[in-house]
Amino acid sequence: MRFQIRRSINNIYTAASLDDGRIYTCRIKGKVMKGRECEYSPAAVGDIAEGNPYSADEALIHAVLDRKSAFQRWNTKRELNQTIAANQDISVIVVSPLSPPLRPRFLDRAIACSSGAEIIIVLNKADEADDDAYETLRLYSGLGFRVIYTSSVSGEGINDLKSAIMGKCSAFVGQSGVGKSTLVNTLTGSGQRIGDISEKYNRGRHTTNHSLYIEGDGFSIIDTPGVREIEVPFEDLQKVSEAFPELPAGECLYDGCLHQGEDGCIVPELVEKGIIDGNRYESYLRIIDALRDRKPAYMRNRKSRG
Ligand SMILES: Nc1nc2c(ncn2[C@@H]2O[C@H](COP(=O)(O)OP(=O)(O)OP(=O)(O)O)[C@@H](O)[C@H]2O)c(=O)[nH]1
Ligand SMILES: [Mg+2]
Ligand SMILES: [Zn+2]
């Protein structure tokens, strides 16, 4: 039987059967799934799994199918990749202008954490936005990212966002307190818990603590727990440039140029001329640097077999 994972807490999964439409509580056979050694958890919300029911509402999962897309982050503590959402058509990266403040560096990393999905940037709390926020996001629309301005207070942009996600599955990701769950509630009428913003730190309180798949009217959303920090998952360095569409492909002297100013790399000149934004380039370089020394725990501890 095939299942779609809809909630995951401590390796107990709530999943909808794609065959009989019922909801099952699932466990996974074994702790680590083959091919997923690099991951914090063998399955994520949005994953399609194969398994067998052993009662009317319980099943055992023995395989998780390959993903077409994912939003992953590096779990610094466990030193593994952590999948926040899987198989979404769109990664909706939600930011807010002031509480918490918009951080372009964070946004750049979040874009790089998404693979295989379309990206939409949502500036929520548009009711609090100043010119700076609009200015910052103009850069991203200029790069070809779709940017939607929303406010759950004034209702601005909600219909635009709704039409953008219609017929699709979207993962709402971003910092804690930007208003992901509020948007999800506005869009689906569901009753996700909403948190307030800590006055002392001007950031959210991690109100949503696990990813959850929610069905709306003609679309679905994976609401995800907000994070304070985000690091790009362990992956091929070449893949990072996919998150930076402004970087030239195949124009530097050497194939597979990482654009760190190698011989024959044209990027530093493009930055100097202002054709590539210097801050974006700095984000890119920082991500490459961070990834270079990064190795998942399971790889580091493994003994070399010569
Ligand atoms: N001014 C304003 N406040 C908003 C808006 N949307 C949400 N908020 C407030 O922002 C706070 C955080 O909202 P949540 O929806 O819990 O944020 P979240 O992104 O789900 O946070 P986590 O679950 O911690 O990741 C709440 O106090 C909301 O009322 C908005 O459009 N404008
Ligand atoms: Mg939330
Ligand atoms: Zn280059």
Q: Which residues of 128-140 are buried (b: 16+ CB within 10 A; e: fewer)?
A: ebeeebeebbeeb
Q: Tokens for 72, please give them.
A: 């992953």
The set of protein residues with a Cβ atom below 6 angstroms from ligand 1 is 124-125, 127-128, 151-153, 176-182, 194-197, 204-208, 225-226
The per-residue pLDDT for 286 is: 97
Residue type, 279: N
Please tell me the number of the ligand nearest to residue 238's CA.
3
- pTM, two decimals, is 0.95
Q: Measured in angstroms, how far is the CA atom of residue 115 from the centroid of ligand 3?
A: 22
Strands 58-64 and 23-28: parallel
Ligand 2 center to residue 190 CA distance, Å? 12
Q: Whose CA is nearest to atom 16 of ligand 1?
A: 194
Which atom of ligand 1 is least distant from the CA of 205?
Answer: 24
Nearest residue (CA) to ligand 1, atom 7: 179
How far does the centroid of ligand 3 lie from the alpha carbon of residue 95, in Å? 30
Q: Domains in the chain, please, with CATH?
A: 2-64 (2.40.50.140), 70-223 (3.40.50.300), 237-296 (1.10.40.50)
Quick one: pLDDT at residue 304? Answer: 46
Cα-to-centroid distance, 72 and ligand 3 (Å): 26
Q: With helix as H, strand as E and coil as C, how does 55-93 read? A: CCCEEEEEEECCCCCEEEEEECCCCEEEEEEECCCEEEE
Rounded distance between C-alpha atoms, residue 165 and residue 163, angstroms:
5
Could you tell me the mean pLDDT of each successive run of 10 residues in the chain, 306 residues long? Answer: 94 94 91 74 94 96 95 93 97 97 97 98 97 96 98 96 98 97 95 87 87 96 94 92 95 93 95 97 97 79 50
- Which residue in 64, 167, 169, 186 sits closest to 125, CA to CA? 186
The pLDDT value given to residue 305: 45
Ligand 3 center from residue 285 Cα (angstroms): 12
CB of 24 within 8 A of CB of 58? yes
Question: Cis bond leading into 101, ω under 30°?
Answer: no
Choose which residue among 93, 160, 194, 205 to substitute to test ligand 1 binding: the one with the highest number of ligand atoms within 8 A of its C-beta. 194
C-alpha 175: how far from its chain's center?
11
Measured over the CA atoms of residue 257, residue 261, residue 264 and residue 268, the dihedral's sign is: positive
Amino acid at 229: E
pLDDT of residue 280: 98
* Closest approach atom of ligand 1 to CA 182: 15
- Of ligand 1's listed atoms, the one at least distance from the Cα of 225 is 25
